[in-house]
Amino acid sequence: MSNYICHDHEHDGIDRRGFLKCMAWAGTGVLWTVSGGVLVSKTLAEVAKTGSSLPKATDLSFLQISDSHIGFSKEANKDVTETFKIALDRINAMPTQPAFLIHTGDISQLSKPEEFDTFDQVLKSCKTKDVFYVPGEHDVLNDGGKLFRDRYLKSVEGKGSGWYSFNKNGVHFVGLVNVVNLQAGGLGQLGDEQLEWLEDDVKGLSAETPIVVFAHIPLWAVYPKWGWGTDNSERALGYLKRFGSVTVLNGHIHQVLQKVEGNVTLHTAMSTAFPQPEPGKGPNPGPLTVPSEKLRSMLGLTSIQYKQSKSALAVVDSNLS
């Protein structure tokens, strides 16, 4: 990666590449500071205009929470319900409430109805009421995700195992499911039916439509040996290549990591429950126990802002300490 500034669109002395290099460094640190930074997408003005079929994009702010693991009570965090509450308190304390939340999966630890009940009960305290969900593998342990779909996909038109899309403020959102029908020896799985749907779903959109994709397991090969990746994710991203701004939001690995491929920015969020080791560090990807005074610094949430005036999409991670 070059150290030279190539594209200083914002005239702030840093280009996206350089900024991401900083982000990559920060993301691999043990401690994540209160504001992880701002990710600036390629300016939409750069994208060749091909005519927009969507209403003109306007400012939008939403929030990603992930990996609540309600029901978990082991050493790494004996009270995940409490840390989830703290995350919601942080959202409630924001000067401007986000338009909606996205939960990127692993609501529960063991797919138990009582775990989902607890989550729903605690969530009632959140001022922001609209929440969009995709399942994590912990939410679909015993029934292929039926209970999850019955509870959390009521307000959307879920297809297949529960994927869907919607538009907000001119931004096109796609929720994908990559934790169902996993195959022996494989990674996260999208499957042909879902991929064909995705291709069709974005076909009619103009290239300047900002795209946000969210799914539980990272849609890139973070660390396949630990199952941190998704089979066929390249095919999915291939359908999105022509768009000027694509933001992919994932969970699963309980830490902030980023990767950029062309106009596609892939980002993983912290958990509200417990941290996991950096890729390949340690014997396995299980819950990471850290000193109790350090725990909240490794839990957090992600705020995403689309500012039409700046033609930029910003992703900011905040921890709970």
Partner 1 sequence: MIQISAKSIENMITPTPKIKTAALLCAISLLNFSLFALAGEMKDADGTTAKQNRIEIKDFAFNPQKITVKSGEKITWINRDGEPHTVVSVGKKFQRSSGLDTDQEFSIIAGAPGTYEYFCSVHPKMTGTIVVEK
Binding site for partner 1 (CB under 8 A): 74-76, 109-111, 137-138, 141-142, 182-187, 224-227, 283-287
Coil/strand/helix, residue 14: coil
Burial tier of 184 (Cβ tally within 10 Å: 0-12, 13-18, 19+): exposed
Q: Given the complex with partner 1, which of 100 and 226 has the nearer CB atom? A: 226
Q: Given the complex with partner 1, which of 7 and 225 has the nearer CB atom? A: 225
Q: Cα–Cα distances in Å, from 107 out to 69, 74, 227, 262, 308?
A: 5, 16, 19, 32, 32
Q: Given the complex with partner 1, which of 112 and 310 has the nearer CB atom? A: 112
Rounded to a whole number of angstroms, the minimum distance from the CB of residue 284 to partner 1 is 4
**Cβ neighbours around 153 below 10 Å, total:** 21
Rounded to a whole number of angstroms, the minimum distance from the CB of residue 291 to partner 1 is 17
Q: Listing from the earlier edge strand, what are the strands of the sheet with 264-268?
A: 164-168, 171-175, 211-214, 246-250, 264-268, 257-261
**Cα gap 162→107, rounded to integer Å:** 15
Q: Given the complex with partner 1, which of 166 and 226 has the nearer CB atom? A: 226
Rounded to a whole number of angstroms, the minimum distance from the CB of residue 221 to partner 1 is 13
Q: Given the complex with partner 1, which of 247 and 255 has the nearer CB atom? A: 255
Report the DSSP pairing between strands 60-65 and 246-250: unpaired
Rounded to a whole number of angstroms, the minimum distance from the CB of residue 184 to partner 1 is 4
Which residue type occupies 292? S
Rounded to a whole number of angstroms, the minimum distance from the CB of residue 119 to partner 1 is 17
Q: Given the complex with partner 1, which of 42 and 138 has the nearer CB atom? A: 138
Rounded to a whole number of angstroms, the minimum distance from the CB of residue 138 to partner 1 is 7
Q: Given the complex with partner 1, which of 106 and 208 has the nearer CB atom? A: 106
Rounded to a whole number of angstroms, the minimum distance from the CB of residue 76 to partner 1 is 7
**Cα gap 218→230, rounded to integer Å:** 7
**Cα gap 241→234, rounded to integer Å:** 10
Is residue 65 within 8 A of residue 100, CB to CB? The reply is no
Chain centroid to CA 57: how far?
A: 21
